[in-house]
């Protein structure tokens, strides 16, 4: 059997300062466990020079390990995964943020848990076990909790963190679920999970500590919250 491979999809928007260290930690994780991997950076024309840094990383780690699949402008997180996935060659795909809110140390836990029962998806959760959120103000915590509660109440998917975006998928599962998902922005993760469960895929959870970014700013705004509420309601009307 060919060696298994992990593709990491890393959407970036103004992550110049975070990219080198996150790449280094990802590389270290896979080297330590002797696993094959590739990193696919999907940058949406960041004005801060993220792509120049990505190109330097390609020359350090090789362009086979670090792929840069840029888009012309900021088109949103959901479509960034769709775009990056076309280039993924791994057996598994891991999606995560580039700003250290998702620490690469949890990748190995996800990989191990996936293997225990050949799960289709392993998702990081901030809202079960030892999981948690650090560095957010009360308002942002409230929005996140509220968003999860709202979707859980209406849709009952049975997953504790619907809006989180630190996840491991079997590549073919991700391809199937992503095809049926319509949301583009922050709503995307929730819709993906609701649809995956409806399709009968198995999901396991790894508690993660989510730490707010050190460099730069979140791209979550009021419009995204309204879009999210609309997304939950439209899924609810379909079930």
- Which 105-124 residues touch ligand GDD, going by CB under 6 A? none
The CA distance from 197 to 203, in Å, is: 8
Site map (CB under 5 A) of Mg ion, residues 63-102, x = contact: ------------------------------------x-x-
The pairing of strands 203-207 and 121-125 is parallel
DSSP annotation of 185 reads S
The two beta strands, 5-12 and 92-95, are: parallel
Task: Map residues 28-47 to x or -, x wherever contact with ligand GDD holds by CB under 6 A.
Answer: --------------xxx---
Instruction: Report the alpha-carbon distance of residue 60 to residue 30 in Å, rounded.
Output: 16
Q: Which residues of 29-43 are buried (b: 16+ CB within 10 A; e: fewer)?
A: bbeeeebebbbbbbb
Which of Mg ion, ligand GDD, none binds 131 (CB below 5-8 Å, type-dependent)?
none
CB neighbour burial string for 109-147, b if at least 16 within 10 angstroms, e if fewer: ebbeebeeeebbbbbbbbbeeebebeebeeeeeebbeeb
> Judged by CB, which is closer to ligand GDD: 73, or 200?
73
Site string for Mg ion, 99-118 (x = CB under 5 A): x-x-----------------
Structural contact between residues 53 and 46, judged by C-beta atoms closer than 8 angstroms: no
105 vs 219 by CB, closer to ligand GDD: 219
Query: Is 193 within 8 Å of 124 (Cβ atoms)?
Result: no
Other beta carbons within 10 Å of 10: 26
Residue 104 near ligand GDD by CB under 6 A = no
Smallest distance, ligand GDD to C-beta of residue 117, A: 26
Q: Which of 8, 57, 80, 82 is in the footprint of ligand GDD by CB under 6 A?
A: 80
- Measured torsion, CA atoms of residues 86, 88, 89, 92, in degrees rounded to the nearest 10: -120
Pick the binder of ligand GDD from 6, 13, 37, 201 (CB under 6 A): 13
Among ligand GDD, Mg ion, none, the one that 125 touches (CB under a kind-dependent 5 to 8 A) is none
- According to the binding rule CB under 6 A, does residue 219 interact with ligand GDD? yes
| Residue numbers at the binding site for Mg ion (CB under 5 A) | 99, 101, 213
Instruction: Report the interface residues with ligand GDD, using CB under 6 A.
Output: 11-13, 15, 42-44, 74-77, 80, 97-99, 101, 144, 163-165, 186, 189, 213, 218-220
């Amino acid at each position: 059997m060919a060696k298994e491979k992990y593709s990491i999809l890393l959407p970036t928007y103004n992550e110049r300062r975070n990219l080198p260290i996150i790449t280094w930690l990802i590389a270290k994780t896979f080297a330590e466990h002797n696993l094959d991997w590739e990193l696919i950076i999907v940058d949406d024309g960041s004005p801060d020079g993220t792509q120049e840094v990505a190109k330097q990383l390609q020359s350090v780690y090789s362009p086979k390990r670090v792929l840069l699949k840029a888009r012309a402008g900021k088109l949103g997180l959901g479509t960034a995964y769709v775009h990056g996935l076309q280039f993924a060659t791994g057996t598994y795909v891991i999606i995560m943020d580039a700003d250290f809110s998702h620490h690469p140390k949890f990748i190995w836990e996800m990989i191990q848990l996936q293997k225990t029962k050949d799960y289709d998806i392993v998702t990081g959760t901030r809202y079960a076990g030892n999981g948690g959120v650090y560095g957010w103000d009360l308002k942002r915590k409230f929005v996140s909790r509220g968003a999860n509660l709202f979707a859980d109440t209406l849709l009952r998917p049975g997953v504790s963190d619907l809006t989180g975006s630190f996840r491991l998928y079997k590549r073919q599962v991700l391809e199937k679920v992503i095809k049926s998902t319509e949301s583009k922005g922050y709503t995307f993760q929730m819709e993906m999970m609701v649809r995956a469960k409806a399709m009968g895929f198995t999901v396991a959870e790894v508690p993660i500590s989510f730490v707010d970014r050190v460099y730069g700013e979140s791209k979550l705004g009021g419009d995204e919250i309204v879009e999210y509420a609309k997304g939950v309601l439209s899924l609810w009307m379909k079930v």
